[in-house]
Amino acid sequence: MAAQTILFDFTLDAGKTATSIQRQEVARIVRNELEHVFTQLELAYSMESMDNGYFSVLHENKDTIITCRIFQQGLLTINVEYYLAAGKEPVLSLDKGKRLENALAKSLQALSGQKIPTLKRGDVARYYPSSVNFDAYERIIEYDIDTLVYEARSPFQKIQILHSKTLGNMLILDELQNIAESDLIYTETLMGRGIENYEGKEICILGGGDGALLYELLKEKPKHVVMLEIDELVMQACNKYLNSICGDVLEKRKTDQYEIIVGDCVDYMKKFIAEGRKFDYVFGDLTDIPISDAPIGECWDFIRTIFEHSFQLLKPDGKYLTHGNGTSCLESLQLFEEQLRLLKPKVKFTTTKAFVPSFMEEWLFYQVTFA
């Protein structure tokens, strides 16, 4: 159950919304189209002023509330809100909403009306931040999500698996998109498929709870892979609902080919260092690079700790592979690279790029070795 909110926006010719009489005509057109959909529509309140333009509140049986505002500068907004109980049909389905939007656009053509893409918020989340959705960017992505497949909260994070019509099932952690069934390119670029040779190699994965990286690496015939993942519940969810990207690797915690250790990766990295254990490859499949003005705070401290421990675990000719952020996050990527340049002993790095379908943007990946 949820409150459904559908926002329709139109730009109009400002010369045709400048006066009260003109705005009243726009309001008449809007109400006429609304009455084709909401057959018991009633006007509850309206206000008109030169400073604020036109504003009205309409309702249907007092269950569906519609607010309409016409700005004298040439902007029309119509907001439809209602409560959707579990198992009930929406008052304004996707098809009905699109028909209403198109009818309004057609009726407003004489006023040079242009529709702005509709926003819909309701029982199934459709909007998530991109890698650059912070104060400086304010960018969100709309997905064609139609079903909440799974939801739970572990001791570490909120876990959701949502279904997208075009991307398949998607793993969302703490309201951030992580991976979808469409995203093999992410895993292949992270591991440098076709470039790196994993046959007979010893590998450590930090994170990777969706199982996709482990699944693809095992196809390359490594000697052994150890994966350090803190959240058992993530693995259980992905094993059940994302097995198209992880196969059956999350069904067992230990085989001759690999071992999955459930726990804090930093603690186990320290243990491996104390034991003198070394790897040919260490993968950082953990948190994204923070969006910040300076490399300070808990997340940056964690990244530096992962760097330091990872290079203590690598063989002299070993390689650290990790993801960055969207390529448009220039400042954060520069801060990340500055932290790499500060490492001792010195390291060098290269980068690769790939457009990740569910991220809807180009993503940067790092390959880091001893200098």
We report the CATH number of the domain holding residue 282 as: 3.40.50.150
Last residue of a domain, one of 106, 121, 136: 121
Q: Which amino acid is at 342?
A: L
Report the C-alpha gap between 181 and 170 in whole angstroms: 7
Last residue of a domain, one of 121, 140, 159: 121
Q: Which amino acid is at 99?
A: R
Predicted pLDDT at 136: 41
Q: Which amino acid is at 154?
A: S
Report the C-alpha gap between 137 and 288 in whole angstroms: 16
State the catalytic residue, choosing from 285, 288, 293, 317: 285
- Owning domain of residue 79: 2-121
* Ramachandran region, residue 120 (left: φ > 0; alpha: ψ -120 to 50; beta: rest): beta
351 in the same domain as 247: yes
189 in the same domain as 222: yes
| Tokens at 60, concatenated | 């249907």
55 strand-pairing partners: 47, 69
Q: Which amino acid is at 57?
A: V
Closest CA to 125 of 91, 149, 97: 149
109 in the same domain as 248: no
360 in the same domain as 212: yes
What CATH number should be reported for the domain holding residue 27? 3.30.160.110
User: DSSP labels for 285-302?
Assistant: ESPPPP--SSS-SHHHHH
253 in the same domain as 214: yes
Task: Give pTM, 2 decimals.
Answer: 0.74
Predicted pLDDT at 5: 86
Report the C-alpha gap between 168 and 348 in whole angstroms: 37
Report the C-alpha gap between 16 and 25 in whole angstroms: 9
Closest CA to 284 of 300, 306, 268: 306
Strand, helix or coil for residue 254: strand
Q: Is 285 a catalytic site residue?
A: yes
| Tokens at 181, concatenated | 């069934």
278 in the same domain as 143: no
317 in the same domain as 207: yes
Q: Structural domain tally of the chain?
A: 3
Last residue of a domain, one of 163, 179, 195: 179
Predicted pLDDT at 116: 67
End-to-end CA distance of the chain: 56
Predicted pLDDT at 131: 60
45 in the same domain as 88: yes
116 in the same domain as 133: no
Predicted pLDDT at 122: 65
Q: Which amino acid is at 317?
A: D
111 in the same domain as 71: yes
Predicted pLDDT at 46: 92
Report the C-alpha gap between 133 and 329 in whole angstroms: 10
29 in the same domain as 134: no
Helix axes 298-313, 330-341, angle to 10 degrees: 40
Report the C-alpha gap between 120 and 5 in whole angstroms: 6
CA dihedral 244, 247, 248, 252 (to 10 degrees): -110
198 in the same domain as 342: yes
Average pLDDT per 10 consecutive residues for the chain, totaling 371 residues: 82 88 92 92 88 88 92 91 82 80 85 67 71 52 90 93 96 91 98 97 98 98 98 98 97 97 97 97 90 83 95 97 91 93 95 96 96 94
Residues 6 or more apart in contact with residue 24 via CB below 8 angstroms: 48, 54
DSSP strands (E only) in the chain: 2-11, 41-49, 53-60, 64-71, 75-84, 114-121, 127-129, 140-142, 145-153, 158-164, 168-173, 176-180, 202-207, 224-229, 258-262, 279-285, 314-326, 347-356, 361-370
Predicted pLDDT at 133: 43
